[in-house]
Structure 1
Amino acid sequence: MTPGVGRNVDSPAPRSADVARVAGVSRKTVSRVLNDEPYVSDEARRRVLAAAEELGYRLNHAARALASGRSRSIGVVALGTAGYGTASLLVHIEQAVRDAGYALRVVNTPDGDPKRIAGAVESLHEQGVDGVVVSEPIVEGEVSVRVDVPVLFVGAPPAFTAARTVTVDMGAHALARAATDHLLDLGHVTVHHLAGPQRWYASKDRLEGWRAALAARGAPEPPVVEGDWSAASGYAAGRALAGDSSVTAVFASGDEMAVGLIHALREAGRRVPEDVSVVGFDGNPVFAYLTPALTTARQPFDAAAREGIRLLVHAIEKPDTDLPPVSDPPVELVVRGSTAPPPPHQGRTVPGTS
């Protein structure tokens, strides 16, 4: 540290004027460098950054917000549930928001209530957020609200009018196809589907992905069994399916439902995977320690959150420019011990199909 420049813990916090003095530049140049503005030479930028680090100077984000008219905060409307998928997505959104240099404000909502969703969005808007993330997987009806800041919709279509809308896909359709194709590749005649509640956008995407995979392979489509994401609903479905000897493969729309399904099958004397193969969906790491370990389609929570926040920040900071290209979400199937080729005596007909 340059003699006479450093400060001890009892010294007042350094100011931009101190950085300008040490760097030998004007305060305007310091402001331009620390706000990442153009029209600054590389040499001046290097001196300012070196001086700021030497002095321990930190840009006052509150003052920057007042000057720019932005609060440096992003609001999130999220479903109030501790479910693995919704909670994991929120965690990754929070990290992506903070990594982008913004503060996070979260408002939880009940299942799909348009009035509550509108109230949550209005609350965030009144707090002066620069952008809004809607991580609400259910919207039952029209949301009567207009927002004057950019809005990111994660895994769902736009539900109301905003200054600019951005959408990112969680890749549920492609993941469901991959899960179904895996079972067909093992030699199963068809794949039964334990769906999630059809009020959820994600459930519909997974159902359509399953259907598309069967249709592409010319496999018969069995009747759909609908659960509610819980292990209990998977258990009930398993009890219903266990008595049908033609059932040799099931794609469950959620990991917890898959666990309940496996439990019911085993109680009924159907071995997994020797008699029935089961694939889950989400990628909850806990279920790698089941017996057998659960094969699952892993949702790209981290990738979707980072891609979405990248686009939202671009819309906030560069409102007059086109959005950058959107990257497709990764498709990852984690193959473990709950899937295998069908038993030799597999039937060739599927009840309920033609």
Structure 2
Amino acid sequence: MSEPEKARAATIFDVARLAGVSHQTVSRVLNDLPNVRPVTRERVEKAIAQLRYVPSPAARALVTRRSRTIGLVVTGAAERGPSSTALHFNAAARDARYAVITASMMRTDVSELRAAAELLVRQNVEAIVLIATDRAGVDALEGVELGVPLVTVASEQRGVRHRVTLDQFAGARAAVDYLVELGHREIRHVRGPEGSMDASERARAWFTGLSDRGLVAREPLEGDWSPESGFEIGRVLAEQRDFTAVFVSNDQMAIGVMRAFAVAGLDVPGDVSVIGFDDQPEAEFLSPPLSTVRQDFRGLGRDAMTLVLSVLGDEETPDPPLRPTELIVRGSVAPPRVVDADAPVAPARSRASRA
């Protein structure tokens, strides 16, 4: 392909990607409009020159035809975290006078996810927000040239430039530290699915929380987030009875675990303590009420919209800090009946620290 053909092939989205800005900003530069920082304007002009981009009348007009619409892709939509975050993101978008077009999928399918994102782009969205629970969801869009900014709500960066998230590690670490401080030395873990970023962060916190105290972290048991899987795992644990506490990666599985313990004649918290994660609405009304880790899904959804507005405005601001979680102590946790005074226990790190 000749150089003139390469120049004609370049698009406004190519320029935007090379300059690291939105296509609306490129259009503002092309139209010599204000509200573009000098350093940003220079970066765009260099990209135009490097690509030998020749703007079309349609490209020049893009800035005046803003859709004020955001695309939202939600994976794992049946789970409380993604669905709650999506609801609060929509509320924040409405407050900012943006409309939201949503594509939800129960399971992460790479081809379907990419197709959904491309369909949103064809509907002239200004940005796409991806709320992903599995690594595969983020990886599906990594490196895909969408032509619009992408913001992820995910526990791992995974190579995507813009991200908001909750501090899963600190929340899980607080739960484990609390159990150790009560005197528990054998703390089992029921983790979520292997591909889940949230599950991996919580399992990592459980492991380091025990290791930092000189305690043994035995192999966790893996569930699928459902009460049914928690019940089956609880039946296995009830037969072993070589522990005094269980940290469960979400409240739904914790409900199943507690039911299995009740069926097996184990008292919670007399025989075994249980802590979940999420603070589901029903957690407070179980018998006993479930101790858990509360997540601020409202704040997370609003963080995502704030970051979208920042990216669209080409504000060179860092991603917001990890949103904190909160340990909620209820009746499902108590000191163990017998404490092994000879078990080595190192001093605790700060509950907000990261390994």
TM-score, normalised via structure 2 length: 0.74
8 Å contact from structure 1 (residues 203, 253) kept in 2: yes
Structure 2 Cα separation of the partners of residues 347 and 97 of structure 1:
54
1:123 aligns with 2:119: yes
* Aligned twin of 1:198: 194
8 Å contact from structure 2 (residues 261, 267) kept in 1: yes
* Aligned twin of 1:94: 90
1:170 paired residue among 152, 166, 171: 166
8 Å contact from structure 2 (residues 76, 108) kept in 1: no
Structure 2 Cα separation of the partners of residues 346 and 244 of structure 1:
18
- CA RMSD in angstroms comes to 2.3
8 Å contact from structure 1 (residues 190, 214) kept in 2: no
* Aligned twin of 2:284: 288
Within 5 Å, give how 1:204-223 maps onto structure 2: 204-223=200-219
Structure 2 Cα separation of the partners of residues 80 and 194 of structure 1:
19
8 Å contact from structure 1 (residues 298, 333) kept in 2: yes
Q: Deviations over 1:166-212 (max 9, x none)?
A: 11122111111111111111110132100000111111111111112
Q: Match for 2:290: what amino acid?
A: L
* Aligned twin of 1:147: 146
Structure 1 Cα separation of the partners of residues 304 and 186 of structure 2:
36
Specify the SS of the correspondent of 1:281. Answer: coil
8 Å contact from structure 2 (residues 162, 319) kept in 1: no
Structure whose alpha-carbon radius of gyration is higher: 1
8 Å contact from structure 1 (residues 307, 327) kept in 2: no
Structure 2 Cα separation of the partners of residues 313 and 200 of structure 1:
28
Specify the SS of the correspondent of 1:146. Answer: coil
Gapped regions of structure 1 (runs ≥ 5)? 1-36, 39-64, 350-354
Go from structure 1 to structure 2 and tell me whether the alpha carbon gap of 1:346 and 1:220 turns closer, same or farther (over 3 Å shift): same
8 Å contact from structure 1 (residues 77, 132) kept in 2: yes
Within 5 Å, give how 1:1-354 maps onto structure 2: 68-79=64-75, 81-140=77-136, 142-143=140-141, 145-157=144-156, 165-316=161-312, 318-319=313-314, 321-324=315-318, 326-344=320-338
Relative to its length, the structure with more helix (as a share) is 2
Greater RCO, CA 8 A, separation 6+: 2
8 Å contact from structure 2 (residues 188, 243) kept in 1: yes
**More deviation, 201-210/77-86:** 77-86
* Aligned twin of 1:8: none
- Percent of aligned positions with the same letter in both sequences? 36
Q: CA deviation at 1:231?
A: 0.5
Q: CA deviation at 1:233?
A: 0.6
Q: Deviations over 1:228-278 (max 9, x none)?
A: 001011111111111223211000001010000001111111100011000
Go from structure 1 to structure 2 and tell me whether the alpha carbon gap of 1:80 and 1:331 turns closer, same or farther (over 3 Å shift): closer
Structure 2 Cα separation of the partners of residues 286 and 255 of structure 1:
9
8 Å contact from structure 2 (residues 193, 222) kept in 1: yes
Structure 2 Cα separation of the partners of residues 347 and 120 of structure 1:
57
How many residues align? The count is 282
